[in-house]
Amino acid sequence: MARMRAVDAAVLILEREGATQAFGLPGAAINPFYSAMRDHGGIRHVLARHVEGAAHMAEGYTRARAGNIGICVGTSGPAGTDMITGLYSAWADSTPILCITGQAPVAKLHKEDFQAVDIASIAATVTKAATTVLEPAQVPGTFQQAFHLMRSGRPGPVLIDLPLDVQLAEIEFDIDTYEPLPIHKPAATRAQAEKILDLLVTAERPIIVAGGGIINADASAELVELAELLGVPVIPTLMGWGTIPDDHPLMAGMAGLQTAHRYGNATLLASDFVLGIGNRWANRHTGGLDTYTAGRRFVHVDIEPTQIGRVFAPDYGVVSDAKAALDQLLAAARERSAAGALPSWADWAGACGDRKRTLHRRTDFEDVPIKPQRVYREMNAVFGRDVRYVSTIGLSQIAGGQFLRVYHPRHWINCGQAGPLGWTVPATLGVCVADPDATVVALSGDYDFQFMIEELAVGAQFNLPYIHVLVNNSYLGLIRQAQRAFAMDYHVDLAFDNINSPELGGYGVDHVKVAEGLGCKAIRVHEPELIADAFEEAGKLMAEHRVPVVVEIILERVTNIAMGLELDGIVEFEELAETDGADPRQPVGLD
C-alpha cells in the first residue's frame, strides 16, 4: 500500500466520493489540508471572506444540484465557531455539507492552546456527527463514515476536526480499493402504498402536501406524475416549492401564515384529506393546529422516523424516502387506474382551479416610493420560467413567496427553518458555482444584504455573475411589523442621513457605492416604471463583466405584508385583486 500523509488520504477520498468543490479560508492549523488540495489539484476551492459565508456557499452549492455535497474548510478556533450558523442552517434544512476544521495538536487539546476549542462538542447538536480525529489511521474511516451519514436517511451536515499533528502524520492507505459505504434510505412497501390509497379514495376533497424531502430525493417528476394520475391538487411547502410548476393545473398554491397564496390557504381549508410527503408540518405552514387539522384526515410520509407524530399524530404514518414512496404509490395507482378503481376528483380540482384564478393580491401599484408588490410583478415578467431564485428571511422573502413564480425544482433555494440574516449572498454564490450557466437571482431586504455584504467580493474575484435584487426600505421590516403587536417601533429603523450620499434622502447605507467598492456593478431604481429596464440592464452588465450586479430598489418605508396567526385569519393590508383570471392586477405568470 501507499504511504502518505493523512490529509493526502482525505483529499483522495473526497475525490472518490464525488465531493470536489470546497469553500473556505486557510489558516495555520489547516494549512496541511490546503497543501494536500494543492498537490492533488482535483479539489476546486473558492476563497470566502468569512467562514460563515463559506458554510452558506457550501449549502447553496449542495442544494443547486442533486447529489452535490459542498465542503467548507476553516482553521482552528473561531473558524469552527463561525461555521456553526451554517451547520445549523444545513441541519435544519436537511442539507448535506462537510465542514473540515483544523485543530491544535492532540497533546495541546487540554492546555488551552491558541485557538484550541472543542468544536466537536459545540457542533454536536447541529450535525449528524461531529468528530475530532485523535489517531491518524482513523482519518480514512472518519471521512468514509461522514459521507455515509450525510447521504443516509434524512440528509444533513457533518463536521470533521483535524488536529495539526494528525494531518501531518503518515499512514498506509490504498485509494484504489476504497469504496463508499452503502447508503441507507428507508423505503415504503407496496402494502403501505395500498393502505395510503385505500384511505385516499374515501376522501372527497384530497390534497397532496409536497415537502422539501421530495426535492432532496430528486423525485419531483414522480410527484407530478402521481398528482396527474390521481387528479389530486398539490400544495407545496416553502421548501418544496418548485416540485410542481406554478402554472400546472394541479398546483393549488402554497399554504401558510406568511409565504402563502390566498388560493392555497383557501384550498387547504376546504380539503378533507391531506397526504404529506417529505414535509415537517412546520409551524409557519400549519399555524394553529386546531385550525389546520379540523375536519381533515392526514397521512404523513417522511424519511425520518422521529418526524412521524412529532407535530401532531397522523391517521397513518410511513417512514420512507420520498422517491421510494412515490414509486410504490405510482405502481399501485397505475394498477387501480387500469382497473377503473380510482374515483374522479375532477370537480374538486376544478374548484381549486377557480380559487387559483380569482384569489389574488394586487401587484400593479404605481406609487413612488415603490410598493414591494410591484417589484415581484416585474421580476416575474423579466426573469421568466427558468430563473433560479435564492433568498432567506424577512418581508422581502415573505412577499417573494406570495408573488414570485417558480417552475422547476431547486429553482427556489431558501433557508427555510434557521433563516439567518446574511445567508443570501454567500448561498447564491454557491449556487452560481454549481450551475455557472444558470440565470441566478437573489432577493434580499437591506438588513439581510448588509450582514455578509463582504462576500460580494468573492463573486467579483471568482467571476460568479448573478443579479441581486435588493429591496430597500431602510427598516427591519419584518420585526417592525411584528412589533405592531406591542404598539412600538423600537430599534428597527435603519435610516440616517448619509453625509457621503445625500441623494439617498435619509435611506442610510449607500449600497451602490459599497457594491462597486467590492468589485461589482450596481443600479438604483426609484420609479416603478424603470424596474424592468433596470433588470434588463443588470443582465447585460452581468454578461459583460461576469460579476454580481446589485439592483437596489428604493421602497416606501412602511409596507405591511399579509400574514396572520391562523390559516383562516390572514390579515390583508392592501387592496386585493379578486375579479377574474384576466385581471391585469394579478401577479404575472399564471395566465
pLDDT tens across 513-537, in order? Answer: 999 999 999 999 999 999 999 999 9
Mean pLDDT of 21-25: 98
CA 216 to chain centre: 11
Q: What is the pLDDT of residue 584?
A: 46
Question: What is the per-residue pLDDT across 99-151, written as a single tens digit (0 to 9) for each?
Answer: 999 999 999 888 888 778 999 999 999 999 999 999 999 999 999 999 999 99
Q: What is the pLDDT of residue 583?
A: 45
Written as nine digits, the cell of 387 is: 430563473
Written as nine digits, the cell of 190 is: 407496496
Q: What is the pLDDT of residue 310?
A: 96
Pair 550, 468: CB distance under 8 Å: yes
For residues 13 and 11, give the distance between their C-alpha atoms in angstroms, rounded to a whole number: 5
Instruction: Mark residue 463 as left, alpha or beta (left: phi above 0; alpha: psi -120 to 50; beta: remaining).
Output: left
Would you call 389 helix, strand, or coil by DSSP?
strand
Question: Residues with Cβ < 8 Å from 327, sequence gap 6 or more?
Answer: 222
Pair 113, 127: CB distance under 8 Å: no
Q: What is the pLDDT of residue 109?
A: 85
Among 143, 65, 67, smallest CA distance to 99 is for 143
581 pLDDT band, cuts 50/70/90, is: very low
Among 406, 471, 464, smallest CA distance to 436 is for 464
Would you call 543 helix, strand, or coil by DSSP?
helix
Pair 296, 273: CB distance under 8 Å: yes
Written as nine digits, the cell of 471 is: 429591496
Pair 55, 85: CB distance under 8 Å: yes
Dump strand ranges (E) for 86-126: 97-103
Amino acid sitting at position 287: G
pLDDT at 296 over 50: yes
For residues 119 and 404, give the distance between their C-alpha atoms in angstroms, rounded to a whole number: 40
311 pLDDT band, cuts 50/70/90, is: very high
Side-chain half-sphere exposure of 79, counting CA atoms within 13 A: 29
Q: Which residues pair with 97 in a beta bridge?
A: 70
Mean pLDDT of 37-53: 96
Question: What is the per-residue pLDDT across 223-243, written as a single tens digit (0 to 9) for each?
Answer: 999 999 999 999 999 999 999
Q: Which residues pair with 522 in a beta bridge?
A: 550
Question: Residues with Cβ < 8 Å from 179, sequence gap 6 or more?
Answer: none
Written as nine digits, the cell of 32 is: 496541511
Among 29, 155, 150, smallest CA distance to 80 is for 29
590 pLDDT band, cuts 50/70/90, is: low
Amino acid sitting at position 463: N
Q: Which residues pair with 5 in a beta bridge?
A: 170
Q: Which residues pair with 555 in a beta bridge?
A: 370
Amino acid sitting at position 208: I
Q: What is the pLDDT of residue 589?
A: 54
Buried b (16+ CB within 10 A) or exposed e, 110-145: eeebebbbebbebbeebbbbbbbbeebeebbebbbb
Question: Residues with Cβ < 8 Å from 533, sequence gap 6 or more?
Answer: none
Question: What is the per-residue pLDDT across 391-420, written as a single tens digit (0 to 9) for each?
Answer: 998 999 999 999 999 999 999 999 988 989
Question: What is the per-residue pLDDT across 549-580, written as a single tens digit (0 to 9) for each?
Answer: 999 999 999 999 999 999 999 999 998 885 55
Place of cell 485509494: 175
By CB atoms closer than 10 A (0-12, 13-18, 19+), residue 300 is buried
From first CA to last CA, the distance across the chain in angstroms is: 64
For residues 390 and 379, give the distance between their C-alpha atoms in angstroms, rounded to a whole number: 13
Mean pLDDT of 427-436: 97
Question: Residues with Cβ < 8 Å from 23, sequence gap 6 or more?
Answer: 45, 46, 48, 53, 54, 55, 57, 58, 61, 70, 71, 72, 73, 430, 433
pLDDT at 587 over 70: no
9 pLDDT band, cuts 50/70/90, is: very high
Q: What is the DSSP string of 221-254?
A: HHHHHHHHHHT--EEE-TTTTTSS-TTSTTB---
Pair 74, 85: CB distance under 8 Å: no
Written as nine digits, the cell of 540 is: 447585460
Among 299, 297, 240, 228, smallest CA distance to 264 is for 240
For the entire predicted model, the pTM comes to 0.95
